[in-house]
Amino acid sequence: MSEGESKQTHFGYKTVDADKKADLVADVFHSVAAKYDIMNDVMSFGVHRFWKRFTIETAAARPGMKVLDLAGGTGDLTAKFSRLVGSKGSVTLADINDSMLKVGRDKLRDKGIIGNVSYVQANAESLPFPDNHFDIITIAFGLRNVTDKDAALRSMQRVLKPGGKLLILEFSKPKHNLMQKVYDLYSFKVIPQMGKLITNDADSYEYLAESIRMHPDQDTLKNMMIDAGLEQVDYTNLTDGVVALHRGYKF
């Protein structure tokens, strides 16, 4: 890259300047924030609740722990963690997008979840937390929207306590060709139309489908986590690999 030339990255299938991606992603989530929960239920036929429940079970949070729910959006995981860690623990709901953070804060407060939850607007690539701070970090359906995923993984590893656990729940690559074909048809033909009907925004959901295809597959992400300093990294495929839960530890 010559001097003065901007670094490039992907925004869905488009190539954009890396320093512009965060703003483009922000526009998507500003647009969909108000009906994000409804669309999740409709798009996944409610299966996203199973994926998130499996993540909570795998996290094995205990009373007194400190949890970071990164790219936590509307707070589904935060609500569960808040009850598990109790009054002596804490949960930080962090998201780069202020619209999503506001929706999450309002939803959790409406549920009476106040005491042990804090809200931070933060970029995953440079987390504003001390070293060795959290027992558990989760990032659910957020990593694919990060511009520099390697930097984000290093940042997460830094703020984990020794013995801490990182869980990444993200769309991935189906294991079987038939599932891949059905998934592609559904993602590119059906989901944007749902987005148009429910949020009056087909373009944002077309981007979300494209961003899934550009995200690293299971083994690539596993190696990226290892390169970031995490250990005992493995993953579990869910729904034939449409989604995968990666986990790694800091020692």
The model's pLDDT over 124-151, given as tens digits with 9 standing for 90+, comes to 999 999 999 999 999 999 999 899 999 9
Residue numbering of the annotated binding site for S-adenosyl-L-methionine: 74, 95, 123-124
pLDDT tops 70 at residue 33: no
**Residue 93 DSSP SS3:** strand
CA angle 132–220–152, rounded 5-degree value: 35
pLDDT confidence band for 1 (50 / 70 / 90): very low
Beta bridge partners of 160: 134
* Residue pointed to by tokens 């005491």: 115
Q: In this predicted structure, what is the pLDDT of residue 35?
A: 59
Q: Does 198 fall in a domain?
A: no
Q: In this predicted structure, what is the pLDDT of residue 248?
A: 98
Percentage, residues of the chain above pLDDT 70:
87
pLDDT tops 70 at residue 34: no
Q: In this predicted structure, what is the pLDDT of residue 124?
A: 96
Note every long-range contact of 201-209, with CB atoms under 8 Å and residues 24 or more positions apart, other chains counting.
201/31, 201/32, 204/28, 204/31, 204/32, 205/32, 205/39, 206/12, 207/11, 207/12, 207/28, 208/28, 209/12
Q: In this predicted structure, what is the pLDDT of residue 226?
A: 98
Q: Does 197 fall in a domain?
A: no
- Print the domain residue range for 96: 8-175+206-249
Q: Does 12 fall in a domain?
A: yes
CA angle 158–164–170, rounded 5-degree value: 80
Q: Does 126 fall in a domain?
A: yes
Q: Does 183 fall in a domain?
A: no
The number of domains in the chain is: 1
pLDDT confidence band for 83 (50 / 70 / 90): very high
Q: Does 2 fall in a domain?
A: no
Helix (H) or strand (E) holding 221: helix 218-227
Greater confidence (36 vs 66) lies with 66
For position 127, which CATH number holds? Answer: 3.40.50.150
Q: In this predicted structure, what is the pLDDT of residue 2?
A: 47
Q: In this predicted structure, what is the pLDDT of residue 15?
A: 74
Tell me whether strands 117-121 and 243-249 are parallel, antiparallel or unpaired: unpaired
The model's pLDDT over 92-114, given as tens digits with 9 standing for 90+, comes to 999 998 888 998 999 999 999 98
Q: Does 191 fall in a domain?
A: no
CB 11 within 8 Å of CB 209: no
**Residue 7 DSSP SS3:** coil
Percentage, residues of the chain above pLDDT 90:
62
Greater confidence (43 vs 179) lies with 179
Q: In this predicted structure, what is the pLDDT of residue 29?
A: 63
Q: Which residue type is seen at 37?
A: D
Mean pLDDT confidence for 157-181: 96
Report residue 77: phi and psi, to 5°. -70, -40
Mean pLDDT confidence for 39-53: 79
pLDDT tops 80 at residue 73: yes
The model's pLDDT over 173-190, given as tens digits with 9 standing for 90+, comes to 999 999 999 988 888 887
CB 247 within 8 Å of CB 167: yes
Mean pLDDT confidence for 62-87: 96
Tokens of 161: 């306590």
Cα separation, 216 vs 206, in Å, equals: 18
- Select from 75, 251, 83, 245 the least CA-distant residue to 169: 245
Exposure class string for 180-196: b at 16+ Cβ within 10 A, else e: eeebeeebeeebbebbe
CB 99 within 8 Å of CB 29: yes
Burial class (CB in 10 A: 0-12, 13-18, 19+), 216: middle
The model's pLDDT over 206-240, given as tens digits with 9 standing for 90+, comes to 877 788 888 899 999 999 999 999 999 999 999 99
Mean pLDDT confidence for 68-86: 95
Q: Does 92 fall in a domain?
A: yes
pTM metric for this prediction: 0.84
Report residue 69: phi and psi, to 5°. -100, 95
